[in-house]
A and B are shown apart, each in its own frame.
Chain A
């Protein structure tokens, strides 16, 4: 018997011609070159800074700042606060204007996006004009418009507009009464919590009730009563027994300006208005695209089931449109956050204005300050993006 062993092992290839090896080689080479260039740039910068006698390092963050900031969410004073504190103040100011801006721009954007698809000719055209006007004018111009043309001509403090309920408006901003909490005030949040829990339980009960018997309960009314009515009732009762839990400090006229109460700076208002209205125009287009992406058959099917137009939109169209809307909506949120740095043009103390403006100039440490600022915006954007991705996964279509 003869056995023929066939030699089928592949012909020996040169190591040099293995595409896998080559691929890895080039990638490693690229990383090494890029890494080397960055290393060169860093050491070169450090050397040049030292030669030019420019201070370097991050020690300046612990030095006393010596300047004041108009809006600080943490205690900040020229005497005791450091450049590091100034950084935190700027960062918080950026975050707060971005967060509030995102909240309002989402609401406004959805309303306008839906309005653009309205069957009412007037409503649809007004929405169209809004979108086309606002998204085609540079944001900086709009900010200056709000700040100089709209808020600028407000009356001087001595002739403040009195808007009732402790609200005053003048060229220094919006002033309102500051609530002062009495010791008994803890009852209010406690009652609110009870109301919330009650509303939650009632909703669950109403749902099982509807599933079992088909009867609907007045969920909205009861929720409102429990969440809002209960605390208000408590307040009234407490006030009647002479233990008013909250009193208000109303702004009074001082030498130059109103004193006491709370103040919202016109710079903040102008920036918020500018960012909100501008971004809303883009979000409206995103929403419109999302709704149009839901096929007409869905609306027709909902109609044939007997759903009203409002219900169709809320229960059928929007949930399906969301999966189209979320990704571009995320990038609009990121745009809004980054655009908030235009605050520098109207004197709102955001991160760029405080940190890259005053701190950079007073310390002269441009490289450190710019690197920190870039890192912060990158982090804010990545976090926003990550949160939106989590939400996107929840609303995305589940393939079965």
Chain B
């Protein structure tokens, strides 16, 4: 009994100490482990989904692969930890994952009260609704009195309440712990409508028993800037995640692709020279090697390539670039200059 008590107490203390220690020098611990632990979605086609062989693909997953490529020159050195929405921030806070890349919305309270930082936005999204075609509903404004399935612990759950309150409509919310349970309940007819970020709607629709029976309503009811999150207090690690995303954006803007990155090293364009590390010591400044961006682009590709492959025309989702086009093409993705 005595022994048990003492060991429990020690375990408790140790676990709390561990939380503290991991808040610093994430880069060193990642290098020491030899791999990156990436908090990923439990399964969202186009963003983070394992295939039958257990290989993960998706836009969010590719960000983790890019970070691993920048550190290890090997995009496979990532261990994915699938997390439900309600567990994700706790997993990051407690040090279970090094970076959380699973379509999480950046909000002020998450940024300031949860002990997190959102170094980049890799997908600009907004919340929408999906309903069955045979209901004959063509607008979210017609959803008065509907049952709506949503995933708990999300901004979606809050926006939903706001939207129905603002439009003076009634609804019944049915909240589930995971996206899988939520969508299954909708597909089985428990709810009239299913709500999540628009990208998620298109992705989840692929899983429906009859995808063509469902229609996404035109209203977008919220702003959902989705991006990777890291623990607050380790700014070096935050920088690595931010500049990994920025490198991919700048590469697209400068026309550096997976295929031509080696030729581009000889380019005379000073912007390309700085990005690819042939001029300046930008990589060393964030604790990496100077060819960090070359590694990212060679192994994973630029942002445009990654987007097209996972969610764009080259994928089943066929999502248009829209807000996620480069700023030069009317979108919101803006690569901060490397200089």
A69 touches B173 (CB 8 A): yes
CB-based nearest B residue for A259:
B145
* Given A30-B2, A266-B190, A360-B86; A55-B177 close (CB under 8 Å): no
B89 contacts which chain A residues (CB < 8 A)? 361, 364
* Given A30-B2, A66-B158; A357-B152 close (CB under 8 Å): yes
A51 touches B20 (CB 8 A): yes
B86 touches A37 (CB 8 A): no
B133 on interface, CB distance cutoff 8 Å: no
Interface residues on B, range: 35 or more
Q: Which of B16, B110, B114 interacts with A48 by CB under 8 Å?
A: B16
B210-245, CB under 8 A of A: which get 1 and which 0?
Answer: 000000000000000000000111000000000000
A256 contacts which chain B residues (CB < 8 A)? 135, 143, 145-147, 192
B165 contacts which chain A residues (CB < 8 A)? 77-79
CB-based nearest A residue for B12:
A41
CB-based nearest B residue for A366:
B90
* Given A37-B13, A48-B16; A353-B175 close (CB under 8 Å): yes
Min CB distance A317 to B, Å, is 40
A345 touches B113 (CB 8 A): no
A48 touches B20 (CB 8 A): yes
* Given A48-B19, A70-B175; A55-B181 close (CB under 8 Å): no
A353 contacts which chain B residues (CB < 8 A)? 152, 175, 177
A34 touches B5 (CB 8 A): yes
Q: Which A75-134 residues have C-beta < 8 A from chain B?
A: 77-79
B86 touches A41 (CB 8 A): no
A148 to B187, CA, bound (A): 11
A360 touches B90 (CB 8 A): yes
* Given A34-B5, A48-B19, A257-B145; A362-B177 close (CB under 8 Å): no
A345 touches B110 (CB 8 A): no
Q: Which B119-168 residues have C-beta < 8 A from chain A?
A: 135, 142-147, 152-154, 157-158, 160-162, 165
CB-based nearest A residue for B136:
A255
CB-based nearest A residue for B187:
A152
A185 to B172, CA, bound (A): 32
A358 touches B233 (CB 8 A): no
B16 touches A45 (CB 8 A): yes
A45 to B160, CA, bound (A): 34
Residue from A256, A358, A364 having most chain B Cβ neighbours under 10 A: A256
Interface residues on A, range: 35 or more
Min CB distance B18 to A, Å, is 10
Q: Which of A33, A52, A69, A349 interacts with B115 by CB under 8 Å?
A: A52
A41 touches B16 (CB 8 A): yes
B185 on interface, CB distance cutoff 8 Å: yes
B147 contacts which chain A residues (CB < 8 A)? 172, 256-257
A319 on interface, CB distance cutoff 8 Å: no
A377 contacts which chain B residues (CB < 8 A)? none
Min CB distance A77 to B, Å, is 8
* Given A79-B165, A345-B177; A358-B152 close (CB under 8 Å): yes
Min CB distance B145 to A, Å, is 5
* Given A171-B190, A358-B86; A255-B145 close (CB under 8 Å): yes
B189 contacts which chain A residues (CB < 8 A)? 152, 156, 171
A37 touches B232 (CB 8 A): no
A349 contacts which chain B residues (CB < 8 A)? 175
A34 touches B86 (CB 8 A): no
Min CB distance A362 to B, Å, is 7
A8-37, CB under 8 A of B: which get 1 and which 0?
Answer: 000000000000000000000010011001
A48 to B85, CA, bound (A): 24
Min CB distance B131 to A, Å, is 10
Q: Which B3-44 residues have C-beta < 8 A from chain A?
A: 5-6, 9-10, 12-13, 16-17, 19-20, 23
Min CB distance A147 to B, Å, is 9
A235 on interface, CB distance cutoff 8 Å: no
A79 contacts which chain B residues (CB < 8 A)? 165
A358 touches B153 (CB 8 A): yes
B108 on interface, CB distance cutoff 8 Å: no
B176 on interface, CB distance cutoff 8 Å: yes
* Given A52-B93, A67-B157, A358-B86; A344-B177 close (CB under 8 Å): yes
CB-based nearest A residue for B112:
A53
A259 to B145, CA, bound (A): 8
A38 to B9, CA, bound (A): 7
Q: Which A202-239 residues have C-beta < 8 A from chain B?
A: none
Q: Which B179-221 residues have C-beta < 8 A from chain A?
A: 181, 184-185, 188-190, 192
Min CB distance B142 to A, Å, is 8
A172 touches B93 (CB 8 A): no
B90 contacts which chain A residues (CB < 8 A)? 360, 364, 366
A37 touches B9 (CB 8 A): yes
Q: Which of A49, A54, A152, A362 interacts with B188 by CB under 8 Å?
A: A152
A362 to B78, CA, bound (A): 28
Min CB distance B80 to A, Å, is 21
A184 on interface, CB distance cutoff 8 Å: no
CB-based nearest A residue for B143:
A256
A54 contacts which chain B residues (CB < 8 A)? 93, 113-115
CB-based nearest A residue for B24:
A51
A306 on interface, CB distance cutoff 8 Å: no
A-B contact pairs, 21 of them (CB 8 A): A33-B9, A34-B6, A38-B9, A44-B13, A52-B23, A52-B233, A53-B115, A53-B233, A54-B114, A55-B114, A67-B158, A256-B146, A257-B145, A345-B177, A347-B185, A349-B175, A357-B86, A361-B85, A361-B154, A362-B157, A364-B90
Given contacts A52-B232, A66-B158, 7 further A-B contacts (CB under 8 A): A37-B9, A67-B158, A67-B175, A156-B189, A256-B147, A361-B85, A364-B114
Binding site for A on B (CB under 8 A): 2, 5-6, 9-10, 12-13, 16-17, 19-20, 23, 85-86, 89-90, 93, 110, 112-115, 135, 142-147, 152-154, 157-158, 160-162, 165, 171-177, 181, 184-185, 188-190, 192, 231-233
